[in-house]
Amino acid sequence: MKMAVILMLGMAVSAMAQAPRRPAIVGLSHVTLRAADLAKSRQFYSTVLGLAEEPSGSLQHARFRVNRHQFIEFIAAGTRAPSDRLVEVGFETTDAEALRRYLAANGVQTPRQVTVAADGTRSFDVHDPEGHQICFVQYVAPEHGSSADQAISEHMIHAGFIVRNRAAEDHFYQHLLGFHVYWHGGMKNHETDWVDMQVPNGTDWLEYMLNVEHNPSPREAGVMRHLALGVADIKPAVKLVQQRGWPMPEKAEVGRDGKWQLNLYDPDLTRVEVMEFRPVETPCCAPYTGEHPH
C-alpha cells in the first residue's frame, strides 16, 4: 500500500515537472484595425499623431510604429461592416513557442507551430473565449523601427474591446495568462463598466468594456474598441493636435480613473485615447493595484 502511494506521488511530481510553464508576457505588441480608406488613416496616424509609417509596398496594408516593440496596423476593410474594425490585439512574450505549448496544454486551440518572420520574429494567433483574435509575439531581432521625432506618444499603454462574459474572459486572461486587475470603475461609483487587466510582467493593460448594448452604433463601437497612447503631460499633446488641425470633439479632462486624457477619433471613428501615465487625482471606485506605466 505504501509503495503504491509513493508511486502515485512520484507520478504526480513527474507530471507537474513536465507540464509547460507560462513564459513572461511583458506588454502590448500591436493593435490591428480595418480601415475604410487607408489614405485617410495615413493622414491621421502619420500627420496628426506623428507616427512613422513603415514601408510596405502594399495598397491594402499600412503599419505605424509607436516604438521599437509596438505598432498600430491597418488592413483595407473591403466589404466589412463599418462597426467591424478591430482585427486583433497583440501582446509581447519572451518565448512564443513555450507560450503556445502552455496554452495548448491548458485546452486552448493553438496552431501547430509558431510563424517565423524574415527578421526572426515569432508569433501565433489564438481566440479568447469571446472570439477576439489575440496574437502573441516574440521579438528576436535586437531592434525594430523607432517612432518619429514628432510622435504624440512613444508608448501604447492599453487597448480595449467589448466583453460580454467577464467570468469566461477572466479564466483566459487572469487564470491562464496571469493578467491581474490594475483598476476597475464605472460611470457611477457602485457600478463596474471598465476593468483594466494588466499584463503579468509589465505595465500595459487590456481594458474590458462591459455593459455595452448588443448592437452598438458605429460611434459607440469605436469608443469601446479603442487604443490608448501614453504621455507624461497632456498639455503638449493637446497643443500638437491643435497645431495639426485635427478636430477635438472633446476637451482634455481628468477621467474617472484620476488620469488626464484626451479622446481623439480616427477617420473610422476608432477612439484613440491620449492618456497621462500617472493619476493626478484619487480614482473613483477602486484603488490602483499595479505599477503605472512611464
d(CA 87, CA 133): 7
Residue 255 lies in a domain: yes
Q: Which domain holds residue 172?
A: 156-276
Distance CA 294, CA 194 (A): 22
Q: What percent of the chain has pLDDT over 70?
A: 89
Tell me, yes or no, whether 74 and 186 share the same domain.
no
| Non-local CB neighbours of 238 within 8 Å, separated by 6+ positions | 248, 252, 262
| CA quadruple 212, 234, 63, 90: dihedral, nearest 10 | -50
Dump pLDDT digits (tens) for 136-167. 999 987 555 555 668 999 999 999 999 999 99
Domain identity same for 134 and 221: no
pLDDT at 81: 60
Distance of CA 15 to the CA centre of its chain: 34
Per-10-residue mean pLDDT, the chain, length 294: 48 53 98 94 95 85 95 87 84 98 97 95 98 96 64 97 98 98 95 97 98 92 96 97 93 97 96 98 96 93
**One domain for residues 239 and 177:** yes
Residues 31 and 108 reside in one and the same domain: yes
pLDDT in tens, 79-120: 666 667 999 999 999 999 999 999 999 999 999 999 999 999
CATH number at residue 188: 3.10.180.10
